[in-house]
Amino acid sequence: MTLAQQQPSALNFDCETGNYHTFCPISCVAWLYQKIEDSFFLVIGTKTCGYFLQNAMGVMIFAEPRYAMAELEEGDISAKLNDYEELKRLCTQIKRDRNPSVIVWIGTCTTEIIKMDLEGLAPRLEAEIGIPIVVARANGLDYAFTQGEDTVLAAMAHRCPDPEAAALPSTSSRPSALGSLLNFGRKSEDSATAEADYLDHPPLVLFGSLPDPVVTQLSLELKKQRIKVSGWLPAKRFTELPALAEGYYVNGVNPFLSRTASTLMRRKKCKLIGAPFPIGPDGTRAWVEKICAVMGIEPQGLAEREAQIWESLQDYLQLIQGKSVFFMGDNLLEISLARFLIRCGMTVPEIGIPYMDKRYQAAELVLLEQTCRDMGVSLPKIVEKPDNYHQVQRIKALQPDLVITGMAHANPLEARGINTKWSVEFTFAQIHGFGNARDILELVTRPLRRNQSLKELGWTNLVREDARV
Amino acid sequence: MKLAYWMYSGPAHIGTLRIASSFKNVHGIMHAPLGDDYFNVMRSMLERERDFTPVTASIVDRHVLARGSQEKVVDNITRKDAEEHPDLIVLTPTCTSSILQEDLQNFVERASLSTQSDVLLADVNHYRVNELQAADRTLEQIVQFYLQKAVQTGTVADQKTSKPSANIIGMTTLGFHNHHDCTELRRLLADLDIEVNEVIPEGASVQNLRKLPQAWFNLCPYREVGQRTVQYLQEHFGMPWIDITPMGVVETARFIRGIQGILNQQGVQVDYERYIETQTLYVSQAAWFSRSIDCQNLTGKKAVVYGDSTHAAAMTKILSREMGIHVAWAGTYCKHDADWFNAQVSEYCDQVLISDNHAEIGDAIARTEPAAIFGTQMERHVGKRLQIPCGVISSPVHIQDFPVGYKPFLGYEGTNQIADLVYNSFTLGMEDHLLEIFGGHDTKEVITKGISANSDLSWSSDGLAELNKIPGFVRGKVKRNTEKFARDRGIQEINIEVLYAAKEAVGA
């Protein structure tokens, strides 16, 4: 690597045709309905949307999900039927059968094209049936896969209560000496020490939907630095959405939440902490450090903790060091994962990504560049809106050791002797925080470990020579 | 608007793509928004396809919405032509793009001026037909296109083959056990000394479609896909056809007699009665199975059947006519073909149920309380909930219904497979029942391994709550590892932080 390449803006950004494979953003209902336990997601779309959800969700569909399709029929498209009356009929039925605390309408491509005014209909219907209705336009015309969650959370951010309206925020209320004297019960003593565990800092709310165990782990990670997480968007229940007000600090835990971030800044007047994302031990450390820095706190014991985690990853690191990984791009986690894998000793020729928000991901991009310099590897090419056909040609030329890709390409590439990892698994696995770094590497190394055990069999290339790409 | 959680047949473009990608060297282009190319995932996963699915999308995005597709569709067609050199490119609208009402036919005509390949626009209305109807229509459309072209250029091969021969029509990708059925049909025809002329669309080349008329007759084993094509071929080329599904011993015999009739009419005297008798009595085990005492135990047992029309109708006949099982009701989601289904099964079951509403089907199962269900994956899950065994006989299906091993449903080997399927479903039910009567297996709770038994460690309430969030099948291991971790470090009470510290330390 030459010195010239070490300029601050040395990352090479490219943009292709956008002919790539990804999940439709309505897939976010699959994890969000599980996360927000009292919600019901109504996807207003066609058979195509329904068929996608049904197939993408696999067995989940049979578990009486709290989501359904409002399947549009010919009468809806030609406006023979009245949208309001139709939605009222369905939402009343949902209220009767499930009694949710919120109904989330997911607008789709079809509602966009026929210009169904969901934002206009929702407040009227909400007043009439007495259940909050949140509208998110998570459609394939505008967004890819995980960006669906972004549209839902951005819509939910508007529903976050003001602190005065919500219960008193407990951040600044230190227990008085008198209070401690008057309380003899063990329980209140516990909560008193719990409060004392935190420093006095402005309220911090994190955003991004993560499984509850990961929420706990990240909150504990900040607790070690005596930083209190006042709330989390989304919470376990819609009725527990965090309070937000001007001056609150917010931080996103996932790279695809740029709309939510700008909504929180512009509409809720919160201050965004732009940090790398807590993916991998390096990312987690940088994330904690950045939050500490903003809060004016000197982080404690982070270097040791990171070193400890790296130490525990040694067996996996040996498998991947010096190997190359190619991201075809479909879920927006690519920059963070590439940065972590470079730190692990891999090389990354190409990072495909559906959409690149350079402002929201700024800190992550800086860390990526820094990591490349530290590890002495060349900077990856970042390809926005990739073209899968061209990518397959590049993969054939480069012969990378691992391709992280969607299921549409995984089997055909494997048959051509190229190791693949299915990218969607990174979306559903627990990958955040120190404790889950191993889970990422477990995913990344699985094809390598599997193929190592098959290596001697001579079954690498399983398509005939004349087969087309 | 309709509140829907589950659908039995997919949208129309899936049917079109199933036909297009079944042919060799045919490329499908969807006029669709990002994410609608989910078909590729299904084909790659369910069929474990080694090759890239020849389907791409011409993406409809915000710009297309504002300005129209303009050159985009044409460019994508010509680009695919140059990259892959397909014989045919099929442009298919999706339900989203069909509302845009762009003149796709015009794009197709413009593109075909500059492509080597032929270009067709799939003629399907997304709001009127489903996956199966669309597949049926698209197959007819492609056959018609190439035969008309062959007639015009005088290249159509309508000289009959010297030996009796047949076309097998309707084998598709993502079809339920289609590959195995096709192999079994080939074997059956070989036994009858009949050549297979063409199999379409699976594995066929569109260049060979001009040879379809040289077969003596057509076979259309599935009710859903191929009907229109064989009717077209009869109308324009006078080709006789059989649409009896050779599924079950009696129907297979009827199928073979149908072939015999056709060949005799065309002047070849054949007599397959001996063959049918040998196969039925000695080769296929199904007839003997129905006579054996195993099957005697199934007499009068109550079953329900649900699926596409082909499989549900055939299964109902097998259960009722060949095994003496009482079919309480038989149903199908092929509402567009309800009359045919009614006519097929009404004498073999108490009631016929035509519905594509899974909740209605689920309720009907719960009310009937059958001893076994034969249905789709959805009914299998209903069966799980109600603790009734279920044999899967029809799409929609999961990956386990694309077995690697040889499992046809058609022909004489098919009868064996079905006998196993039926028998296994019922015995499992019996076993469960007996276990319940005699108090079941040992309970799972008492099994503890090693060190976590009689633990002296205490768990805090938050630690315990967190532990309970861990999936059941690994919880025991996590608990043991955490306690070992705590014991090693002299920690008395295990709280949430200890739990995660242990996880980091040992990767529990």
Write the DSSP string, A346-408: -EEEEEEES---TTTTHHHHHHHHHHHHHHT-PPPEEEES--HHHHHHHHHHH--SEEEE-HH
DSSP A168: P
Q: Can you give the pLDDT at residue B455?
A: 58
pLDDT value for A185:
42
Residue ranges for chain B with pLDDT beneath 50? 442-453, 508
* Cα–Cα distance for residue pair B370/B325, rounded to 1 Å: 11
pLDDT at B403: 92
Supply the pLDDT for residue A60: 60
Which of B158, B166, B267 has the alpha carbon at shortest distance from B213?
B158
Cα distance between residue A279 and residue A341, in whole Å: 10
Integer angstrom CA distances of residue B160 from A77, B195, B228, B266: 50, 12, 22, 11
Which residues in chain A (376-435) have CB-CB distances under 8 A to chain B?
389, 392, 406-412, 415, 434-435
Residue with tokens 């369905």: A90
Q: Does A372 show up as a binding residue in the annotation? A: no
> Considering CB atoms only, which of B41, B62, B496 is closest to A407?
B41
User: What does the pLDDT read at residue B472?
Assistant: 66
B interface mutation test: which of A71, A87, A109 has the most B CBs within 10 A?
Answer: A109
Tell me which of B481 and A138 has the higher pLDDT: A138
Q: Would you state the pLDDT for residue B456?
A: 67
pLDDT for A265 beyond 70: yes
Closest-CA residue of A relative to B465 is A213
pLDDT tens digits, residue range A161-206? 998 765 544 444 444 444 444 444 444 444 445 666 788 899 999 9
Is-catalytic flag, B294?
yes
A160 is in an annotated binding site: no
**Residue B87 annotated as binding site:** no
Q: What is the pLDDT of residue B101?
A: 85
- How near does any CA of chain B get to the CA of A253, in Å? 19
Q: With beta carbons less than 8 A apart as the criterion, state whether B19 and B138 touch.
A: yes
Q: How far is CA B47 from CA B40, B52, B92, B102, B375, in A?
A: 10, 12, 22, 33, 21
CA distances from A163 to A157, A168, A372, B343 (A): 14, 7, 43, 68
Name the residue facing B44 among A19, A213, A407 (closest C-beta). Answer: A407
Buried b (16+ CB within 10 A) or exposed e, B14-52: bbbbbbbbbbbbbbbbbbbbbbbbbbbbbbbbbbebbbb
What rounded mean pLDDT belongs to chain A? 89
The reply to whether residue A48 touches residue B11, judged by beta carbons under 8 angstroms, is yes
Predicted local distance difference test score (pLDDT) of residue A161:
94
Half-sphere exposure of A107 (CA within 13 A, CB side): 24
Phi, psi for B26 (deg, rounded to 5): -120, 135
Taking the CA atoms of residue A181, residue A183, residue A185 and residue A186 in that order, the dihedral angle to the nearest 10 degrees is -60
A25 contacts in chain B (CB < 8 Å)? 35
Which among A73, A113, A142 is the nearest to B100, CB-wise? A113
A63-110: pLDDT as tens digits: 678 899 999 988 888 888 899 999 999 999 999 989 999 999 999 999
In the set B61, B103, B193, B294, the catalytic residue is B294
CA distance B91 to B124: 11
Complete DSSP assignment for A200-254:
----EEEES---HHHHHHHHHHHHHTT--EEEEES-SSGGGPPP--TT-EEEESS
pLDDT higher at A114 or A458: A114
C-alpha distances (whole Å) from B259 to each of B190, B198, B243, B265, B348 are: 13, 17, 11, 10, 25
CB-CB contact of A160 with A243 (8 Å): yes
Assigned token pair, A130:
């007495």
Mutation target vs A (from B13, B21, B52, B132; most A CBs, 10 A cutoff):
B52
| Nearest partner of A139 among B100, B182, B36, judged by Cα | B36
Judge whether B102 is closer than 8 Å to chain A, CB to CB: no
The CA distance from B17 to the nearest CA of chain A, in Å, is 13
Tell me how far apart the alpha carbons of residues A227 and A99 are, in angstroms, rounded to a whole number.
37
Half-sphere exposure of B94 (CA within 13 A, CB side): 31
CB-closest option in B1, B10, B384 to A90: B1
Spatial separation of the C-alpha atoms in residues A341 and A320, rounded to whole Å: 9
Q: Cis bond leading into B396, ω under 30°?
A: yes
**B314/A175 Cα distance (integer angstroms):** 76
CA-based nearest distance B81→chain A, Å: 13
ipTM above 0.90, yes or no: no
Do residues B484 and B459 make contact, with C-beta atoms less than 8 angstroms apart?
Answer: no
